[in-house]
């Protein structure tokens, strides 16, 4: 049997060890990376331009697209890799996804743009940029 003072010190030491072992922020608990893969920086207008997004975490992640001219977002699109139809809702994935349905309009030909995939999960938000100049 421990003395009362020794018991208090043992409890205090265990409590201190438990506090030290727990990360203090979400970013300390989960650092993650993500990549955007596409075949070309010069997609053809009105043709499918398949992309693939991969993350180092296998957690529920939301994604949507932004189209950037200069430093200004000129359009935002929700994702549904299984459909070209309008009315898409927020897309969620875990680990990676492919989208074979991205299509560039003819009016974007010759304009230097950035295709951006915005990812968000419990660990934070990442913006993946890919420079594009559409060809006719």
- List, for residues 14-59, the tens digit of each pLDDT value: 444 444 444 445 545 689 999 999 999 999 999 999 999 999 999 9
Residues 6+ apart with CB under 8 A from 9: none
The pLDDT tens digits for 118-128 are 999 999 999 99
Average pLDDT of the chain, as a whole number = 83
**Helix, coil or strand: residue 96:** strand
pLDDT of residue 13: 46
Domain 27-133: assigned CATH number:
2.60.40.1930
**Residue in this structure with the two tokens 């295709």, named with its chain if needed:** 115
Q: How far, in Å, CA of 126 to CA of 109, rounded?
A: 27
Higher pLDDT among residues 76 and 5, named by residue: 76
For the entire predicted model, the pTM comes to 0.75
Burial class (CB in 10 A: 0-12, 13-18, 19+), 117: buried
Q: What is the side-by-side order of every strand in the sheet holding 96-99? A: 34-38, 51-55, 96-99
Q: How far, in Å, CA of 52 to CA of 49, rounded?
A: 10
pLDDT of residue 114: 97
């Amino acid at each position: 049997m421990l003395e009362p003072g020794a018991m208090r010190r043992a409890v205090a030491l265990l409590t201190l060890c438990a506090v030290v072992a727990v990360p203090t922020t979400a970013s300390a608990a989960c650092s993650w990376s993500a990549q955007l893969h596409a075949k070309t920086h010069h997609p053809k207008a009105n043709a499918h331009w398949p992309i693939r997004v991969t993350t180092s975490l296998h957690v529920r992640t939301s994604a949507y697209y932004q189209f950037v001219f200069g430093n200004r977002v000129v359009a935002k699109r929700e994702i549904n890799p299984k459909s070209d139809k309008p009315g898409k809702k927020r897309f969620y994935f875990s680990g990676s996804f492919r989208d074979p349905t991205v299509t560039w309009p003819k009016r974007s030909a010759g304009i230097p743009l950035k295709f951006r995939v915005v990812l968000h999960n419990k660990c934070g938000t990442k913006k993946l940029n890919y420079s594009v100049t559409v060809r006719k």
